[in-house]
Each structure stands twice: as structure tokens, then as C-alpha cells.
Chain A
Amino acid sequence: MARTRYLWAAAFLALPLAVYIFFVILPLLSSFYYSLTDWNGFDVDYNYVGLENFQKMFTDRLFRNAIGNTVIWMALAIVVPTGAGLTLALTLHGRGRLSNFYKSLFYLPISLALAVIGQIWIWIYQPDWGLINTLLRAIGLDHLAVAWLARPQFALICVIIAWAWQQTALAMVIFLAGLTSIPTELIEAAEIDGANYGQRVRSVIIPLLAPASIVVIALAVINSLKSFDVLYVMTRGGPFHSSDNLAMLMYNQSFQSYYIGYGSAIAVVLFLITLVIIIFYFRQTAKVEQLYD
């Protein structure tokens, strides 16, 4: 009987496992393999170059630029969606029917693909008739109405804002769920003890939102590392690589310059960074769970 159950389990797991191995594990391993070669993507022949692709990163200004942009993106991913999501959640939590309407409204970006969000924000940033420049001109600030996505000093930040718009909605939902799980007695007790709203948020609510905060921050960081679609739609890493992150540089090196070997090496670095963050995330989650147990 037990053997049949195992056979059933194996039969049902075989297909998803095969799909996972074929579409995730094998490409991952092949990326590691190609990162040690000089393959251009077309040639049947290519050479084993050892760690040459990884050494190149130390002298490649495009790589340094992409690492810098990735760090900026990660830092803003921790601050902006977390802060804005928490503020929205605190504002909308338990405020009746109108708050439900606003929750739905702020939740809306999650239902949109990042490519769609990118296109919406392209229109918002459009220099001639975009929302931002139209507003700036309407209030007499014509000199501030610039071509946002065409300026290297603004392009990355503009893309991050568009991306954060969606991430904020995700953070808000997670914080709202976290707020619901906080026992009302604790907040009432603090109120009876004379704590004002600011003190209650700082000393009771935020500490109790620790599990939710870890999820929000980890998701924001991981999503920032793998962000590609919104960047591809909005700037493709431009103008002239100013908004490249590691994912976009990997794409450009692999499919525009046909340096598949170097692109794979960048993919390996991106994978390792993400792995470190995921391990950190699981450890923190385990610690918090232990604390609550």
C-alpha cells in the first residue's frame, strides 16, 4: 500500500520535477558553463577561457556602472516601497468602507504587468505632452520640464519610481495583513497607558510588524535584483547605459554584443548576489519564527 502511494507521488511529481530540471536547473548549470567560455552565441566552436570573463568585470566600466545602479536600486527598494507601503497600510487600516475603496485603488498596480506599468510611465514622463511636464508647465515651472528618460542623470531614478509604484502596492497589502494579525488588546493597553498615536506606532505596531517587514524588504530587494522588464520597456538601460542594472547589462552583453560568455558570467554574479540575500532572508525569517514560538 505504502509502495503504491510512493509510486503515485513519484508519478505526479515526475512531470513538474522534469519541467523544473529542464527549464531551471539545466539553464542555470549551462550559464555556469558558458561563463567559462568565449561563446558568441552563434559559433559552433568556442574556447574555454577559465575565469577571464570574471576578471574582465574588474576593468569593465559598464559592469561597475551596472553594479552601482543595482545597489542604488536595492537601497531605494528597501526605503521607498517599504516606507510608502507602511504609511498607506497604517492610514487605511480599519477605517471603514471608504478605506476599502482606497485599498483597492492602491492595490491596482499589482494587477498590471511591469511592461504595462513601464509604458504608462513612459507616457507620464513624455517630454512634450506627458503628465509631469504638463503639470510643471501649468504652474509656470517650464524650465523644470525636461526629457526625463533621455537624461542620464534622471533615467534610472525615473524607472525606479515606476517600479516602486507597483512594489508599494505589494508592500501595503503585506503590511495590511500584518496589521490585522496584531492583537487589538496590545494597542488598547498602550493607549490606556497614555501612549499617543506616534508612540503606539513606534513602540507597539512596528515591532510587531517585524515578520511582515522582513517579507516586504526581502521581496523588494529580490524583485529589484531581477527587475528587467520595466527597464527594458522604458529605457533598455539607456541613454547610453546610464540606467543599466546587472540584469540589463547581462542582456545587452549577451544579445546585443553577442558576448554570451561574458553575459553568462554576469548572470552568475547576479545569481550569487540573489542567493546570499535569499539565505539571509530565510535565516531572518527563521529567527523571527523562533522568537514568536
Chain B
Amino acid sequence: MWKAILSPDFFGTILRSATPILFATLAASIAAKSGITNMALEGIMLFSALFGVIFSSFTHSAGLGLLLTVIVGGLIGAILAFFVLNLKTDEILAAIAINLTATGGTVLLLLAYSGDRGVSSSVRSVSAPNITIPLIEKIPFIGQILSGQNVLTWLSLLAVLVMHLFLYKTPLGLSIRSVGENKDAAESVGINSRKVQYIALIISGALAAMGGFYLSGGYMNMFTKDMSGGRGFIALAASSMGGNTPVGGFFVSLLFGLAQALANVMQLTAVMPYEIILMVPYLTTLIGLGVYYYSQKKKKERLSGK
């Protein structure tokens, strides 16, 4: 088992498993930075996994499929924003509604589109390609990890960088962080907080959509019902543990990728029943949150006791 864990393949698996969580974590971060908990990520990912399959088969292009899926993701983000910001719906309730709609809606839409029940086996979708970059490929070990990764994995790494620059170096990023931290202060200097939060939620939806697209067009090559598997919720925990920053979220996502990859390896070695192994990512979330908030609490106590 250890041999399997220390191989470049295993690290490659970590990256592959981390990709959808990373997208969703970035999505959770930008929403959190603007002051909103985007609990609809799970539903947005699930919708996007389905629409990714449908759009790519319809356009015969992974690129166009991704683009359309991202637009739909942004749209769902905007719908959430409309409920929360215009109608003053509780953000958790609005998100639950979207998530429930996704659970049933995706199965229904798939059935209507292709006649498939729960698994898109008859839809000829186009997956995003894996890419090898000649120069990187030659680096020992690391080259083997990175080489042949899906284009969306590369995109997710790029997204960490772009998000970091966006949040910390651009005027709009500054506005988002200000609105999330002190809405009154932001509004007192003329920032339209509603507009800023709309933008943040649309970006959040778009990022989650990329994660969803990856699930059915990269990680796997088809849509299966409920395939988001709680990643949208795990991402909320990951984002929070990463301090809602893109870079922090990236490292925590890797941790969850590790948990997922471990689960995969353990399935092969059959040390434990399959069902228990499936719990690993979720247990990691629970334990991770516990450890993180316990350390935060201790830190706070230390600071206030000073």
C-alpha cells in the first residue's frame, strides 16, 4: 500500500481529485469575501455536471460546452443573488431550494434530453482533454505528476492565481472585500454593495460550474445522478479553513484531494469495507473543521488573554 501512496501516480490522483473541490472552494471564497455564504455550490456543480454533458454533446466541442456551462453557472449565481439581495430571502434557505432543485431537476432534464435514467450513457459528450507540456514533463517526479493532467486541472491552478490577483490587486477586488467586512463603510464611500455582491455571486457560480463540468467531462466521462457527492459542501469547509483566501483554499483543497485519493487507494487494497472507505472525505471534513476551529478558538483566547 505504501508503494502505491508514494508513487507519482498517487500525487496525480490527488490533483485530479482536488480539482473540483478547488474550483468550488474558490467559488466559496469569493462569495464569503463579499459577505455571503454560497451554500448553493453543491446544486450549481450538479447542474453544471449535467449541462456540461448536454452542451458538449450538442456543440461537439468541450470548449464551447464549458463556456455555455459557465454561463449557466453564473446565471444560477445571479438567481441566488436575486433571492438573497432583492427579495431578502435567507441565504441558506435560497441555497437549499437551489440544491433540491438540482437533485431532482438534473435527473428530470437528463430523462427529457436523452431518455437516460440517472446515467448519461447514451449522450455522446465531449470531455476536456488531458494535456502534456513537453518541458514540464521532463522534470523528474513532479513532471510525472503534472504531465497528462486534465486541462481543467491546469485551469483550476491558474484560477487560484487569477483570483488572488483579482481580490487583492484590483479595485473591484478591494470593493468585494470591503463590502464583505463592513458594508456600511463600503457604502459610505459610494460603493454599491448590492452590485458588488451580485458580481461576487456570479463569479462564484461560474467557478463552481467549472468544477461541475470537470466532474462529468474530465474526472469521469458521463453524468451520473448526485455525482457532485457533497463537494460543494466540502468546499465551504475548505474555504473557511483556508481563511477564505484563494491560496489558503488551494492548500486545503489539496488536503481533501489527498483524502479522496487515499480512499481510492484503500479501495484497491481492501483493508476495509468499501462503504467505510467512501466516508473518508466526509470524515476528513468533520475532523478538519474540528481541528481548525479548535486552534482558532485557542488562538483567540491567547490573544484576548494577553
Our verdict on whether A and B bind, yes or no, reads: no
